[in-house]
Every structure is written in C-alpha cells, then in structure tokens.
Chains A and B, each alone.
Chain A
Amino acid sequence: MDELDALRQMRTALAEQEHPDRIALRTSWRADVKQRPRRSFRIPLVSLAATAAVAAGAVVAVSLAPSESSAPGPGKNGAVPQKGNVLLVAATNAEKAPIGKYWHTRTISGEIHAVGKSAANHYKVDSRQGSEVWTDRSGKGRQGHLDLPDVPLTAQDKQKWEAAGSPNWVRIPDAEGAGRTVALQMNPPAGRQAPFRMPANDRFFGLTTEQIAELPTQPKALEKALLSLEGNWHAYTTKTETEPIRALRGQERVRALSDVAGTLLSTAPAPPKVRAAAFRMLAALPGVKAEGEATDPAGRIGTVISLPLETTMPLGLFTAPKQLGTYRRQWIINPVTGKLLAIRDLVATPPRGSRKLPTGDDGKPRSLTAENMPDRFHRPGEVAAYQVFEVTEWTNAEPPR
C-alpha cells in the first residue's frame, strides 16, 4: 500500500456522497445569497444618477414608507436640522416609526469600476447587486436576489460606453491577478426582474431576530451589549480566533461598533427604540461628525455623517490589506424620518504603487497593483462603493407571493 492508498482509506466515513436535496436542505445555501453582501461589501459609491437607473430599466421605484411624508419632526421633508444634533434628531424620529407584522428591506450595493486604459480614455461602470427581504417577527420569511445589470455611472460614461458600441460585456482587470481580466455584464436579459426567492433566516453579526428585538434601548446599555459581541473585527488578520468588541481599542472599536450600528439601522429587523438607541450611541462615539447635505445613490437628499475609519475594508474577511488607496466612509441619513439612507465610501487618495499578497491556497501568485484597481482613475472625493437602503420598514402590507 503506498501513501496515496493510505490516504484514500483515511476518513472514508466522511467521503460518502449525500443526495443533493439533503445537502440543500441542511446548508440552505440559497439563503446565503443575501447574507454575503452584508459582510463582504465593499461599499461603492455612486452618484448613480436616477437617469442611469431608469435607463437600466431594472431598478424598482423607491417606495416611501407612510411615515416618510408624515413623520413628525423639525421642519418639513428635506429640511435639515442643525448639524450638531442631527443624530439625536434622527434618533427621536426613528423612535416614532411604526412597527408592523413584517420587516421589509430592499438594498442595493454597487462598486465603481473603471473600464479602459487611461485616465483620459475610460468610462466608469457601477457594478450592482441587490436584495429584497421580507421576514416576520420571528425572523422567518423570504428573500430575493435582485439581478441588476451593471450600468454606466454618469450620462457622460453612458455616452462613452455607447460610443464603444454598447458592448454587453466589458472587461476590467482582476484587481488581484496580474494580467487576468473579469467581465461585467451591462445589458439585462429580459425578464430578469423576477427575484430569486429563498427562505430567509438571517443572523446579523451573529444576532438572531429575537435577540435584536431584545437589545437595550438606552445608548450606553446598547453599547455595553454590543461590546460583548464576538466576531473577527479586524480589517485583516491571520488569526482565526474571535473576540468581543470589548477587546478592541481606539479606532478599531469605533469601526466595529459603527459597522454593527449601520446594520442595526439598515437591514437588521431592529425595533424603533433600538434604532433610536443606535443613533444615540453613534452620536457619542469619538470622531463621528455631521457634515453637509448630499444626495444618496437613489437620489434622496440627506445629511452626511462622516466616520473616522482607518480603512473601509470589510471586517473579518481578509488576511492582508487589499487597498492601495485611502478612503472615507460616510453615512447619509434623513434626520426627519430617522432613517439611514445609504453608506458610501469616497476615495481620499487614489491607489498608488503595488503590494505583494500572501499566496493563496490555489497557488496563484497574488499581488495588488494600482493599475489593476477598480478606482485607478478616480479622483479624490469620488465614490468608490456604496450601499443604498431603498426600503427599510416595518409594515402590515403582505409580502408578494
């Protein structure tokens, strides 16, 4: 018996193939289609003009919750309260939002990629993913993957894409693979709007719907509860151990808390009082600042909240730094409705230079090079990635069948 035969006799009980239905049942792999973006987003930003969205024909109109026009609060719709207290105003109004039988969200995330060889001759494409979720108060329900085409970012980008013959597929460099390319698909095949429906039973940073419903409603108590959340809270690390947020210091702790708060204020089925506490907790974190007004990628006006982050890399996913530029993260909130409208990352300094990465298990040499990065032609202040929360509401409306 040689060593290969010996290997083949090892762990044979585990080698048994199971019926795919059984695997599907146990893994509920479909349920994860939605789950991924939450943890793995890079946030692209776009001033995804409404025109681009309409041109794409695949974006569903933003539906306003009833509270959106009738919410009590300072000023009329769109009026922006004073900067200093904008998060506290948002908290007060978030608390007044109605609660209903179902939690309904529709989220679109986008990442901006340059197509072309030079700063002078390229256009930008917004590569998008979306999901829509309906769950009840036990956290069970359905979710759909919105199959959105990638679209030129601005009217000018659209002209350049059309001048190139409106290609269905455009190729962009693979950011981690020297010389390789990947393709983005620009034209939606007809009929792709039908969402891919699958059971939803999500956790949010490990919290179940029931646990979220019972989170403290006072900001200090909420922060204390969140400090005990276990996870991998580093932008990159080779450690696989988890630790509570409490173990982090300084900016890392602010980053982890603001990530969790962002989820509680967007896709997580948090009750209004928990949302209010999350806004108040954020207001007390060091370095969090209200700035001016901005329009979110869905065209809604809100107030910018800037977060003091060292990196915008998603937490807990990577073993090495994957950015060659620096970025700023902003939330856009509507203090009048008490809603988080969008999160976006802006380029602070465009990518420069290169960096070797540890070789992956696939043995491919990996390195980052500025000329392969999606934002290689971005200028400071331009959006690199975003998430827009088109709908986040408790409702008594029945989910679509």
Chain B
Amino acid sequence: MGMVSHARDELDDSRIVAASLEDPEAFGELFRRHSPRLHAYIKRRLGLVLADDLVSETFTTAFRQRARFDGRAEFSAWLWGIASNLIAKHHRQETRMYRAFARTGVDPAEDGVADLASDRASAAALGPRLAKALASLSAQERSAVLLLAWGEMSYAEIAATLDLPLGTVKTKIHRARIKLRKTLPEEKIDG
C-alpha cells in the first residue's frame, strides 16, 4: 500500500476501522480521537472509577466487533451507542448516586475528584434538586437529556446514538426537561 502512516491523521474514522482489520494497531488512533470526550461524559454520569471501566469496555467491544461496523452510521454514534448500552446496565447504580446526592448534599460521583469550589458554587444549591429529578427519569429520558446537556450533542446525533427516531428523542427530552424544571426554584425559570 502506498499509504504512509502519517496520513492516518487525515483519514476519517470509518477508513481507520477498515485499516484496523489488517493492522489492529491502527485502532489506537480511534481511541486517541474519541476517548477523552466519551470518558468525560461517562465520568459525569457514573463517577471516575466506573468511567475507567466502561471506557475500557466500550473500546474493547468496539475493537472486537469492528468487522461488523458497516460504515452506514457515523463511527462516533456507533461507539457512543455501545457506551450507552453499557451505561444502561448501571442504571440502578447511577440512580442510587443521584439519590444519595439529593439526600446528603454530597455527590458520590465526585468522590476523589479535586474540588473546584468556585466553579461549583452556583450550582451547589441546585445540584441535589437536579439529582433528585435525574433519579426519577427513565433510562431513556436520562440518556437523551444528558447526551444533550453533557454530551453536547444535537438532537439528530442523539437519535443516531440511541438508535431512536428523531421525534421520540424530542419527546423524551421534552419530558425530561419538564421534570427537571419542576425542581428548580421559580425565579430561575426563564425558558
């Protein structure tokens, strides 16, 4: 092949997946590109320890099944879809952490994370209320609204990731937002 290795930087994800069938090491580039954002998102939902585990499991699964990635979806949607399934397995654990946060005002997910006090001051009062509402969401509602707020995805990207119709995603997010809004103090509502 005439391809030189530095060209990998310019290759799109699906080409790298294809290349990794012959050269498994190539898959490492996908880890480099996608792990930071995915890791941050899972950390935010499940805490640091589970995030390490699930990122590992997500990429392991993706690597193992890469021959079945057919390129019709974006690689990132496929990858985040795998991650979403794994996160779903921890639905109860996640709910327990939100409940504990709501009850005690101390967020177990942030256990062991350097405390950026100033950053969190404004949200501190709202955190437990939001956590209580998040605990009450269904798994789908929670994933959809958190992919929006924390994953910074568009509705279309969320639909692709969760493999749901766009309309369904909008409905789930709408419902989730209503439940979250109810927990906020009145004067905070402007939207």
Q: Which residues of A contact B (CB under 8 A)?
A: 1-4, 6-20, 23-24, 26-33, 35-36, 129, 145, 147, 182-185, 189-192, 194, 196, 238, 240, 319, 359-364
Q: Contacts of B60 on A, CB cut-off 8 Å?
A: 29-30, 32-33, 35-36
| CB-defined A-B contacts under 8 Å, sample of 18 | A1-B188, A1-B190, A2-B181, A4-B149, A7-B130, A9-B126, A12-B123, A13-B120, A18-B40, A29-B59, A33-B64, A129-B64, A240-B92, A359-B140, A360-B139, A361-B85, A362-B143, A364-B164
Contact A192–B168 (Cβ < 8 Å): no
B91 nearest in chain A by CB position: A361
Number of A-B contacts (CB under 8 A): 183
Considering the chains assembled together, what is the distance between the CA atoms of A9 and B126 in angstroms? 9
Nearest opposing residue in chain B for A319, CB measure: B89
Bound Cα distance from A4 to B140, whole angstroms:
17
B40-69 to A contact mask, C-beta < 8 Å, 1/0: 110110011000110111011101100110
Interface size range on B against A: 35 or more
Contact flag A6-B36 (CB < 8 Å), given A14-B44, A360-B88, A363-B140: no
Which residue of the partner chain, among B21, B56, B150, B177, contacts A189 with CB atoms under 8 Å?
B21
Contact with B163, one of A7, A185, A189, A363 (Cβ below 8 angstroms): A363
Contact with A along B95-127 (1 / 0, CB 8 A): 000000000000101100111100110110011
Given known A-B contacts A13-B120, A190-B22, A363-B162, A3 and B110 have beta carbons under 8 A apart: no
B70 at the interface (CB under 8 A from A): yes
Tell me what chain B mostly uses at the interface: helix, strand, loop, or mixed.
Answer: helix
Distance to closest chain A CB from B165 (angstroms): 9
Chain B residues lying within 8 Å of A3, measured Cβ to Cβ, are: 130, 177, 180-181, 183-184, 191
Chain B residues with Cβ below 8 Å from A2 are 181, 188-191
The docked-state distance in angstroms from the alpha carbon of A29 to that of B139 is 26
Q: Is B172 an interface residue (CB 8 A)?
A: yes
Chain A residues with Cβ under 8 A from B57's Cβ?
A: 29, 32, 36
